[in-house]
Amino acid sequence: MKKIALDMDGVLADEFGQFSQFYEKEKGIRITIEEARGKRLSEAFPGAANYIQSPGFFRTAPVITGSREVVEKLYRAYDLFIVSAAVEYPHSLTEKLEWLKEHFPFIAWQKIVFCGSKNIIGADIMIDDNFKNLDPFAGQTILFNQPHNHFADAGRHHRVTHWHEIESLLL
């Protein structure tokens, strides 16, 4: 059975939406996806880097539309692992685990990998929104479109904009 390494932030959890909500609450300014396209999160939301240190940031992130349904199908068809480079923000470990239990309760705890670098991961397919994780990966790569990678050349990575595209591609 083929293995899938599936990222959390920007693929399952709507990281952009969470930054947007926090930024609007603090600054009173709503940043749209169109305004953020081609910018890193730190550029799109100036001064908002501390949000990821805020209690609840990872725990309350919105779920990306379509992810729950498609991931459940993939989980039955593949050896699927959630892989998140979470150790940079230690409080995120508990919050991400709680978030997964709430929104993806069918994923067994043994299938959740929190790491520093995803280079250690051995799988056949990686779905991620960051080139730093996809570029060194030797298997099939799927780039989940996000504002920060929107204008970048996907290169060898297959770019998708919605979970139904992943469903069509892999199921």
Instruction: List the domain boundaries for the chain.
Output: 3-14+59-170, 15-53
Beta carbons of 144 and 163 less than 8 angstroms apart: no
Which uninterrupted H or E stretch holds 138?
A: none
Please report which confidence band the pLDDT of residue 89 belongs to, taking 50, 70 and 90 as the band edges. Answer: confident
- Residue 7: active-site member: yes
Question: Dihedrals φ, ψ of 45, to 5°?
Answer: -125, 75
Going by pLDDT thresholds of 50, 70 and 90, the confidence category of residue 47 is: confident
Place of tokens 């550029």: 43
Distance, in Å, from the CA atom of 148 to the CA atom of 9, rounded to the nearest integer, reads: 12
With 0-12 CB in 10 A as exposed, 13-18 as middle and 19+ as buried, what is 26?
middle
Q: Can you give the pLDDT at residue 19?
A: 96
Annotated active-site residue 9? The verdict is yes
Residue 74: CB atoms within 10 A of its CB come to 21
* Residues 103-141 pLDDT 10s: 999 999 999 999 999 999 999 999 999 999 999 999 999
In the predicted model, is pLDDT for residue 98 greater than 90?
yes
Candidates 1.20.120.80, 3.40.1440.10, 3.40.50.720, 3.40.50.1000; correct CATH number of 3-14+59-170? Answer: 3.40.50.1000
State how far the Cα of 103 lies from the Cα of 68, in Å rounded to an integer.
7
Distance CA 159, CA 149 (A): 10
What is the distance, to the nearest Å, from the Cα of residue 74 to the centroid of all Cα atoms in its chain?
16
Specify the pTM.
Answer: 0.96
Give the SS3 label for residue 128: strand
Tokens of 30: 């709503």
